Chains A and B, each alone.
Chain A
Amino acid sequence: MLAALSINWQTITDGVALGAIYALMAVGIGLVFGVLRLVNFAYGQLIMAGAFALALASQWNWPVWAGILLCFAVVLVLSLLMERLVFRPLRTQPPAVMLVATFAVAFLLQNIALLWFGALGKIAVSLASLNRPVTISGVDVRKITIVAVAVTVVCLLALVLLLERTSIGLHMRASSMDFSTARLLGVRANRVIAVAVLISGFLAATAAVLLTVQTPLVTSDFALSDTILVLAGVVLGGLNNLVPATLGGFAIGFASGLLGGALPSNQSQYIPTFLFVAVIVVLLLRPSGLFTRSGQAVERL
């Protein structure tokens, strides 16, 4: 069935670019899960909101930096609102209830966008020049691939520094290991959660900037299928730990980018089926995830 697979450097770099963006999103989802035990279905809608901000900025002919600034502002405000209005009142509910609640928020935001911007969507063109290729030893690499990988590496390094070297990072690691004990020891729950949500929003805004370069047409379901795949990837890697979650996100992005380019379209249309069958098999065989070490208690984050 995979006879027609044509892997070359081109499809591999496409896979790496998508994998890098998915890894960012995976970290955003994993961070919030760490402190809140909440899988945020509405993460894609944060990215969608950021993408609309970029599209509006390019429609108003704002300079690129102002558009990016607007994108970050919109996503961060929306993340904080989401935390305050939905996550906080539901914090004591079981995880399944919170999952349904974020599902509701996702649906709500998506339809507000549909109402506001219409079904045709808007186009974000300000960063389109990054789609031009540069040739590295005979392989055409689009600039966005390099930018995406660089941005992801920088973001992840900064996050590691924050978690390992600052006191708020220590608080976050402590809360994701054992929230109630951390609170007893003086960690302020609301502050830790707000910081986690803010960082997660920051990563969503970054993903929005990168994704709009690849897909300039922004509609209300922008990033929806990406988020579903990333969620699958995060679960695949292991939700309880940030590094496996990131690897899972990268792996699923890489796989879908690679297969999407390498398979003929009558096979690549079934990629979601392959990926989700893999997810279900992993959930059944290794419920704690593919990239976690089994047999020992793992430290979350």
Chain B
Amino acid sequence: MRRLDALVQVAVPALLVVITALLGTLVSHANETYFINALVNVTIVVALYMFIGNSGVISFGHISFVALGAWMAGVLTVPQQAKPAIMPGLAHPLEVTTVGNVPSLAIAAAVGGVYALVVGLPLMRLSGLTAGIATFGVLEITHNVLRYWEKIGPGLNAFSSVPETTEMLQATVGALIAVAIAFSYQRTRFGRLVRATRDDSAAARAVGASVYRQRLIAFVISGAVAGFAGGLYVHLLPIGSEDVYLDLTFITLAMLVVGGTGSLFGAVVGALAVSGVDSFLAVAENGVHVPGGTLDVPVGTRYVAVGALMALVLVLRPSGLTGGREVSLPDWIRVPLMRSDKVRS
């Protein structure tokens, strides 16, 4: 029975990802991008959830890991002959190294994890408001450095000439990997310990859990997944330093909060729901046919709508759409199953 519960908890979010992908193959090529983007968003939000949801500490800094992952994966996959033209100031080792798609994603994940470790070692001692401000500082520093330091990337320019390999299949597999890692992590000893520190840090310490160490583990794993998501992102669009800064931080946090910070299911639902609203409005900004006429909203409506949605959810239902709970089987299936379990034993 407990095994079945666990299966449902991971299968439903995974199924949502797969359904999104299948829906995406049905639409026109122009609209397919929105679905791929939604899946990359799922990956980022799941990474956010692994730290924020499990540890209960707010982080405004995770987009730094996405950014650095994107930078490394991007720099290493730009074709050799194109590098001098778009990144003239590149450091020598990065200039002469070019890797394929899959290795670049692995490197992105590794870089994200290592950066999270470096940042987390001092910062995981903080919590609450100070953690929020300090991680925000990390975001500012990362953005500032990536924007101007041309030895490690294109600086003020966008990442052109990166092979656009994040197709529907890769985005789906990426999102599924993130869901699988998040689910496995939260069922390990470490996942349970960090949740214990979230729910009652004094009691968790009393039974021997180190709040600092558990938070650090959560931070590093989620940083690695965030870096991986950055790799997917840079292979989707020619992004620049402004694309992995405040707007992305805001919108991914909004997704997590709208879905419900406390559960993996919430992270996936929130990412897909907000991506859906956002994509619909993005299309509507160019005029869209709806039953009863053409809907044409002014440019910028999407962010206003997402902002309003997030504020509304925070005020009216702070635990999010899913209430921060994982999926469970409905009682009319569960109860008979439990009875038959007892009969057998």
Contacts and interface: CB of A to CB of B under 8 A. Distances in A.
Contact of B138 (A96, A105, A228, A280): A280
Nearest to A87: B315
B128 interface: yes
A104 B58 contact: no
Nearest to B311: A104
B144 to A, nearest CB: 4
B250 A104 contact: yes
A270 B129 contact: no
A283 B130 contact: yes
B318 interface: yes
A284 B126 contact: yes
Most buried by A among B57, B133, B254, B303: B133
A276 B129 contact: no
A199 interface: no
B130 A90 contact: no
A284 B133 CA distance: 12
Contacts of B280: none
B301 A99 contact: no
B58 A99 contact: yes
Interface residues of A, number: 38
Interface stretch (A110-118, A135-143, A253-261): A110-118
B126 A108 contact: no
Given A276-B137, A276-B140, A279-B137, A105 B311 contact: yes
B123 A280 contact: yes
Contacts of B140: 228, 272-273, 276
Interface in A93-108: 93-97, 99-101, 103-105, 107-108
Contact of B128 (A95, A105, A107, A276): A95
Interface in B15-74: 57-58, 60
B290 interface: no
Contacts of A103: 60, 250, 253
Nearest to A108: B307
Contact of A235 (B57, B133, B250, B298): B133
Interface in B88-137: 122-123, 125-126, 128-134, 136-137
**Chain B contact residues: helix, strand, loop or mixed:** helix
A96 B126 contact: no
Contacts of A104: 250, 254, 257, 307, 310-311, 314
A39 B134 contact: no
B306 to A, nearest CB: 8
B128 A100 contact: no
Contacts, number: 117
Contacts of B303: 107, 111, 114
Interface in B272-318: 298-301, 303-304, 306-308, 310-311, 314-315, 318
Contact of B148 (A107, A108, A269): A269
A96 B57 CA distance: 8
Given A90-B314, A100-B58, A272-B141, A115 B254 contact: no
Contacts of B257: 100, 104
Contact of B314 (A97, A111, A231): A97
A231 B133 contact: yes
A254 B285 CA distance: 43
A89 B140 CA distance: 30
A229 B140 CA distance: 10
Interface in A192-226: none
B122 A280 contact: yes
A115 B133 contact: no
A117 B145 CA distance: 31
A232 B133 CA distance: 8
Contacts of A273: 140-141, 144-145
A71 to B, nearest CB: 23
A213 to B, nearest CB: 26
A100 B304 contact: no
Given A232-B133, A239-B129, 11 more contacts: A86-B314, A94-B128, A95-B128, A104-B250, A104-B307, A115-B298, A228-B140, A270-B144, A272-B141, A276-B137, A287-B130
Instruction: Sort A-B residue pairs by CB-CB distance and give the 10 closest, nearest first.
Output: A108-B307, A111-B303, A276-B137, A115-B300, A96-B58, A104-B310, A272-B144, A104-B311, A107-B307, A101-B314
25 contacts: A39-B129, A39-B133, A85-B315, A90-B318, A94-B128, A96-B129, A96-B131, A96-B132, A97-B314, A99-B58, A99-B132, A103-B60, A104-B307, A104-B314, A105-B307, A111-B300, A115-B298, A115-B299, A272-B144, A273-B145, A276-B137, A276-B138, A280-B122, A280-B134, A287-B130
Interface of B: 57-58, 60, 122-123, 125-126, 128-134, 136-138, 140-141, 144-145, 147-148, 250, 253-254, 257, 298-301, 303-304, 306-308, 310-311, 314-315, 318
